[in-house]
Amino acid sequence: MESTNPATGETVDTYEEHTAEEVDAALERATETFDDWKETSLAHRQQLLSEAASVLRDRTDEYAELMTREMGKPVDQARAEVEKCAWACDYYAETADEHLQDEVVGVDADARAFVSYEPLGPVLAVMPWNFPFWQVFRFAAPNLAAGNVGLLKHASNVPGSALAIEEVFEAAGFPEGAFQTLLTHSDTVESILTDERCRAATLTGSNAAGEAVAATAGGEAKKTVLELGGSDPFVVLDDAPIEETVEQAAYGRTQNNGESCIAAKRFIVHEDVYDEFKPRFVEEMESLTVGDPTDDDTDVGPQAQPDLMEELHEQVEETVDAGGDLLTGGEPSDREGAFYPPTVIEEPPEGTPARDEEVFGPVAALFEVSSDEEAVELANDTKFGLGASVWTDDLTRGQRIAREFESGMAFVNSIVASDPRVPFGGVKRSGYGRELARHGVHEFVNRKTVWVQHGLDASESGIE
């Protein structure tokens, strides 16, 4: 397994892929560890998560530079990603006891009932390369807190990051087998899912990958959580403050080199401010610095792999050939590495990639609408339903429209973001289930109903 720097084409490192025997041994180790880990006090699990946060902060530069070398994100954004992972660990170190305490339910006067949240066992996490640390930690922190153990099958272009994450938990004092990285390709996922020792799975990735995992896990009656991408609308109403909104629009489309599921991708602008928004947005996109991702002044680095850049360019060409108006960008940068410039396409026709597909790179689709109703209709005219945002000076109006979005998350006057304190996930073809917050820690637990009847004499029943 090889890691290649997308900015230079140079090999970062090579790794030995785990054999079938090594994967089997990891499953066995996970099972054995779980038997003890589920009995470990929640307070101790929380303490270890706090230690993991400290490890991350102590090694921020090391891990950030590793991410940048492996997949090309600007290094300042990589540092922020490491800090966000530490924040997630801190969040569950502080709140897991509250989220996982027994939930008392009011029942008959002569009985007591409660819901107990108990771990399931080894959980397989199939994770993507675009946020190589954060995607993993938003799974790992709540699940380790809940008493599960993790098996990570990471994207094959970020093996160094995968091993570094395992290292974080080892350095924090988690027991061997609590979190293991499997350096293996996608063709092993099915055999892991069908193994009785694997109790559940989560995947962030493409629709095809999600459908395959869901089908296999469903055949085994195993719980899954899927996050399958998005084509998030960014709706600008006629009373939005244009200058501030334009800055957020450009950042929302190009953060992480545009390779983000929750990035704003379709910009839907009211006709009363369209002529003001359009040139400013194009100018803002053109002003971004595309270059060396190790330079703190870089806004947009390379696409993660050359083939991904080629696929992105094909989507742009197909859209423009079908009648979309190219306002800026639209050609790979004339330089070494997989660089693609910030690109804006006006009014992509129906049936084109920029309108109907997830465009995973710094390419924005721009639309003009005449009313709130038309804006919402266009925003919802997609198979995806991950995030959405609306921009307005009228917060009541903004909240009303936010409720009308067919999405798992809706933001008013803020770009869509993941935050440990609120649930993350989508609807429609963007998947199902939730990560983070209380909702995320409850996804992979047995929500066991316990009913205690008070009809027996207390001396016989042990009930007080």
Closest to 119 (Cα-Cα) out of 58, 57, 40: 40
Helix (H) / strand (E) containing 354? helix 353-356
Q: How many CA atoms lie within 13 A of 367 on its CB side?
A: 24
Q: Catalytic: 227?
A: yes
Helix (H) / strand (E) containing 278? helix 271-287
Q: Which of 227, 358, 406, 435 is labelled catalytic?
A: 227
SS3 107: coil
For residue 300, give both structure tokens. Answer: 């947009």
- For tokens 């919402």, what's the residue? 376
Q: How many CA atoms lie within 13 A of 327 on its CB side?
A: 21
Strand bridging mode 223-227 / 200-204: parallel
What is 167-205 written as a DSSP string? HHHHHHTPPTTSEEE----GGGHHHHHTSTT--EEEEES
Q: Which residues pair with 232 in a beta bridge?
A: 264
CA atoms of 223 and 450, how far apart (whole Å): 21
SS3 content of the chain, % helix, strand, coil (to 5): 45, 20, 35
Closest to 364 (Cα-Cα) out of 272, 237, 236: 236
Closest to 271 (Cα-Cα) out of 384, 375, 160: 375
Q: Which of 85, 89, 198, 261 is labelled catalytic?
A: 261
Instruction: Tell how far CA 383 is from the center of its chain.
Output: 18
For residue 453, give both structure tokens. Answer: 């009847």
Cite the active site residues.
227, 261
